[in-house]
Amino acid sequence: MSFNNQRVLPAVRKIKDLEKLLTSPFQYIVLLDCHIGMLKSLVDLAKSHGKKPLLHVDLVEGLKNDEYATEYLCQYIKPTGLISTRASVIMKTKENGLLAIQRLFLLDSSALRKSYTLLERTKPDYIEVLPGVMPHIIKEVGEATGIPIVAGGLIRTVSDVENALEAGATAVTTSDSSLWKHYQA
Q: Which of 52, 77, 49, 50 is nearest to 63 (CA)?
A: 77
Summarize pLDDT for 52-88 with one digit per residue, the tens. Answer: 999 999 999 999 989 999 999 999 999 999 999 999 9
CB atoms closer than 10 angstroms to residue 84: 26
Mark 147-156 as b/e (b = at least 16 C-beta within 10 Å): bbbbbbbebe
CATH number of 8-183: 3.20.20.70
Summarize pLDDT for 153-185 with one digit per residue, the tens. Answer: 999 999 999 999 999 999 999 999 999 999 985
For the chain, domain boundaries? 8-183
**Sequence-separated (6 or more) residues with CB below 8 Å from residue 80:** 28, 52, 53, 54, 98, 99
